[in-house]
Structure 1
Amino acid sequence: MNSRIITALPAALAVAALAACTFGTPTVPADELADTAEGALEEEVGQRPEIDCGGEDIEVVEGEDVTCVLTDPASGTEYDTVITFTSVDGTDFEIDVQVADTAN
């Protein structure tokens, strides 16, 4: 699998999924961030991978990276995947998704 950088637009994000805190940094559940990244990759390559970002809520901070594991649905091969918050505006955010060139 080639390294790809994918941008998920705010419209593609489930803003309601963002569990914004009244005070402090907003967070998003790891499985919902993974789902957003899966959707972005599916649009790009035509096949939906499985991405695991752990079980903890993730702080939504511009410029921050989240390391996840992508599983190729065709082969079951795992790849490190980095999701970066490229823009954060309140409860709206954009991400880039980069999949490693080599399997784990």
Structure 2
Amino acid sequence: MLVSVLSAGALAGCTVSASSNLTVPGSDISDSAAGALEEQIGIRPEMDCGDDQVDLVDGTVVDCVLTDPSTGSTFDAPVTISGVDGSEYRVSVEVADTPRE
């Protein structure tokens, strides 16, 4: 499953790293990815993309874990950032076909 959504990052939630890239907390990526999936499937899954700051750079992949709210099963769900324009960006989520062990 591949899902994309335009997610506007709030500048207040962004920081500038030493490399001059804007960054957002992993929790912002989790929220964006969960929202994208909710729009596609009608159910908001729990997403965990960690607590680290994430560079807002086209092509950045964040290793996330999706928890299915109806079964509790967890799935690998890498999120790719694209279309970065300042603090605005899109996320694409690819959810694994089989649960994690």
Same fold (TM over 0.5): yes
How does 1:57-76 map onto structure 2 within 5 Å? 57-76=53-72
2:97 to 86, 97, 101: 101
Closer, same or farther: CA 89–14 of 1 in aligned 2, 3 Å? closer
Q: Secondary structure of the residue that 2:84 maps to in structure 1? A: strand
| Runs of 5+ unmatched residues, structure 1 | none
Greater fraction of residues in strand? 2
Correspondence for 2:10: 15
How many correspondences in the alignment? 99
Q: Secondary structure of the residue that 1:9 maps to in structure 2? A: strand
Question: Structure 2 CA distance, aligned partners of 1:27 and 1:78?
Answer: 26
TM-score by length of 2: 0.89
Correspondence for 2:3: 6
TM-score by length of 1: 0.86
Runs of 4+ in 1 over 4 A off after TM superposition: none
1:46 to 32, 42, 46: 42
Question: Structure 1 CA distance, aligned partners of 2:49 and 2:4?
Answer: 17
| Runs of 5+ unmatched residues, structure 2 | none
